[in-house]
Amino acid sequence: MAITYHDGENDAMLSEINTTPLVDVMLVLLIIFLITIPVINTSVAVRLPRAANALRQSQPETVVISVDARGAAYWFDARLADATELQSRLREMAQKSTQAEVQIRGDARADYEAVARVLLACQQAGIARIGFVTEPHSETLRDKP
């Protein structure tokens, strides 16, 4: 704000905003953005592989653990009472010389936590082969002859 004095009767105050510092700051910000945006947007062009789900037959030694929409776990068709029963069965299975594969069938409406508990129990028991049973997409079904 600048105050101007005149010789005479009218002492007027100049009430204009000095925009020069504002323009300087905006130009500096514009230059910074112009320099940094190309760095952020660049990425390596990679062609990712495409894979289709292959249908596999269950082996006799495959264990199927199902998780229903309410989060209850089932060993094949038998409902497990609690997590300790699941862990004890998995430990027994892990002790065998030929370790079976565990296939987890999780209901789409189930909480992730229930499926994660089964995964954690498999990890703690030392199960190395874990798979998920899913349904193929409708597009995959149309592509098959």
- The CATH number covering residue 117 comes to 3.30.420
11 band by pLDDT with thresholds 50, 70 and 90: low
Give every CB contact of residue 71 below 8 A, 6+ residues apart in sequence: 110, 111, 113, 114
Percent of the chain with pLDDT over 90: 14
Note whether 93 and 122 are within 8 A (CB): no
Domain that holds residue 103: 63-143
Structural domain count of the chain:
2
Tokens of 64: 């199927």
The answer to the question of residue 27 being in a domain is yes
Angle at 55 between CA 111 and CA 51, to 5 degrees: 80
Sign of CA dihedral 86, 87, 90, 92: negative
Q: Is residue 35 part of a domain?
A: yes
Same domain, 79 and 137: yes
- Residue 73's Cβ-side half-sphere holds a number of Cα atoms within 13 Å equal to 26
Global pTM? Answer: 0.54
Mean pLDDT of 100-128: 88
Q: Is the separation of the CB atoms in 104 and 115 below 8 Å?
A: yes
Average pLDDT on 118-141 reads: 79
pLDDT bracket for residue 24 (50, 70, 90): very high
The yes-or-no verdict on residue 111 having pLDDT over 70 is yes
Q: Residue 36 is encoded by which pair of tokens?
A: 């940094």
Q: Which residue has the higher pLDDT, 60 or 18?
A: 18
Number of H helices, E strands in the chain: 4, 7
